[in-house]
Structure 1
Amino acid sequence: MVPRAVEVLQTVDVIAAEDTRRSRPLLQHFGIDTALVAYHDHSDARTVERLMGTLRGGGSLALISDAGTPLISDPGYRLVDAATAEGIRVVPIPGASALIAALSVAGLPSDRFIFEGFLPAKTHGRRAVFDALKREPRTLIFYEAPHRLLDCIEDVVAVLGESRTVVLARELTKMHETVLRMPATELRDRVAADRNQQRGECVLLVAGYQGDDSGLRDDVIAALDVLRAELPLKQAAALCARITGAKKNQLYQYGVDHPLS
């Protein structure tokens, strides 16, 4: 908690909290007795309207989430959207953000990255996301639930490859903070062997695609992937060679070395 945050929470008229049960001990710790109301992803339009009523009447409102920065995979978008639409000033109070904290210690390129939030709960959905990002050169950042973490890393291995560098940043800024960086298969085995790594709040960072040693252009590989999804590899390589001008044997060998997931 930065001093500015404490001051704001002490002086606003109302605090909207994701879970009042989790926020109340924090407020008590800092001697804050500001009125507390619940606002979360399942709050209905009436709740938003009540909060907007406070703002329209000249009152002030602070929005806090259970952990980290509001709106970053946390509630708040609808309320902020409604406030800005009516010309009400919205002020950020910077604080902890697992996304940025994880990136700062991952040792992966941080000049360009993409944040995908929470991954789908099912294997098919996760693999579809990874497949769409297979050749994304920027550092990939995800949030993941601890009970799905091991399955998620297994999906990274299956779709992005065994050697892709992955970083697990867990329980950042807390007592059991852990940052593990290693190839995907090694991280999978480490997490499988240590149940403690499957607890708490997890950020998963994956190194971006750096190309391969096949010498084939990305657009040629993409064409081959489309064709071999429908045809036997030998036929797909021959047809791709006719379309792109690449060598048939080179395309076939790439297909053998890089099977579709």
Structure 2
Amino acid sequence: MTLYLVPTPIGNLGDITRRALAILQQVEVIFSEDTRQTIKLLNYYNIKKPLKSLYQHSPESRYQEVIQGLATGQEIAYVSERGMPGISDPGSHLVQLALKAKIKVVALPGASAVITALVASGLPTDGFVYLGFLPRPRSRIIRQLTAAARLGRTVIFYESPYRLIRTLNIMQEIFPPDTPTVIAREISKIYEEYIRQPLAEVVKHFQEKPARGELVVLFFAEKLTEVE
């Protein structure tokens, strides 16, 4: 009885390891954060396995279904919508339940938008703070970004293209205009793009050319302005 956390491509379907494919072929059932995305991958590699959903708003009974299956000796894989399971998805809760039930958990190494964006950003990589998705309220965004920046590390978070300008404008209230900022867009896909500019220039860029696709935001702030 083993729970496998299997990383999947973040864009390019070729970015998956042989071991990950072997595990997906080996397990008895695959649980996925987004079955619509996962079925594309399984069909591409001709993997025929039962596929069930497990996403953010799944009832607790769905998690227990996984744990009960593992407890009866099944080998089960969990995959996120894209990338490494357990990062900003239900995988972390599933792992906690599995460990509590004394079930073996194996995480396979593989694709991660966070790490990929970081190493290509040109920002310091000796330490970083990952914030996942920012909260909606302005005051909470300010608190999170300020606290993270004070650690003196590169700060990374995911953002929607529909909220990017608002978030960048909030950042301008906190950080100087020359703060090194990077927007990684559509990583590993056809329209992959990195915007590496001072904060003020990044804001100007996306005011003139609205963001599209999946975004990772990174910055390194040596100074900040206090905001009430």
- What is the TM-score normalised by the length of structure 1? 0.77
- Partners of 1:259 and 1:47 lie apart in 2 by 45
**5+ residue gaps, structure 1:** 213-257
Contact between 1:11 and 1:34, CA under 8 Å: does it hold in 2? no
- Partners of 2:34 and 2:51 lie apart in 1 by 10
Match of 1:238 in 2: none
Match of 1:151 in 2: 166
- Partners of 1:88 and 1:133 lie apart in 2 by 34
Structure 1 segments of 4 or more deviating over 4 A?
258-261
Match of 1:194 in 2: 209
Contact between 1:41 and 1:75, CA under 8 Å: does it hold in 2? yes
Q: Work out whether 1:205 is the aligned partner of 2:218.
A: yes
Q: How does 1:107-186 map to 2 (within 5 A)?
A: 107-186=122-201
Match of 2:89 in 1: 74
Corresponding pairs, count: 213
Selected match of 1:55 from 62, 70, 73: 70
Identity of aligned residues (%): 36
Instruction: Tell me the secondary structure at the aligned position of residue 184 of structure 2.
Output: strand
Match of 2:13 in 1: none
- Partners of 2:160 and 2:99 lie apart in 1 by 32
Q: Which of the two has greater strand per residue?
A: 2
- Partners of 1:78 and 1:259 lie apart in 2 by 35
Q: Work out whether 1:43 is the aligned partner of 2:74.
A: no
Task: Compute the RMSD of aligned alpha carbons.
Answer: 1.6
Match of 2:34 in 1: 19
1:161–1:31 Cα change, 3 Å: same
Contact between 2:173 and 2:227, CA under 8 Å: does it hold in 1? no
Q: More relative contact order in 1 or in 2 (CA 8 Å, sep 6+)?
A: 2
1:135 CA drift (Å): 2.9
- Partners of 1:67 and 1:167 lie apart in 2 by 21
1:122 CA drift (Å): 3.2
- Partners of 2:162 and 2:140 lie apart in 1 by 16
1:78 CA drift (Å): 1.8
**5+ residue gaps, structure 2:** 1-15
Instruction: Tell me the secondary structure at the aligned position of residue 91 of structure 1.
Output: strand
- What is the TM-score normalised by the length of structure 2? 0.88
1:91 CA drift (Å): 0.8
Larger Rg: 1
- Partners of 2:157 and 2:194 lie apart in 1 by 15
1:79 CA drift (Å): 1.3
Contact between 1:106 and 1:167, CA under 8 Å: does it hold in 2? yes
1:125–1:260 Cα change, 3 Å: closer
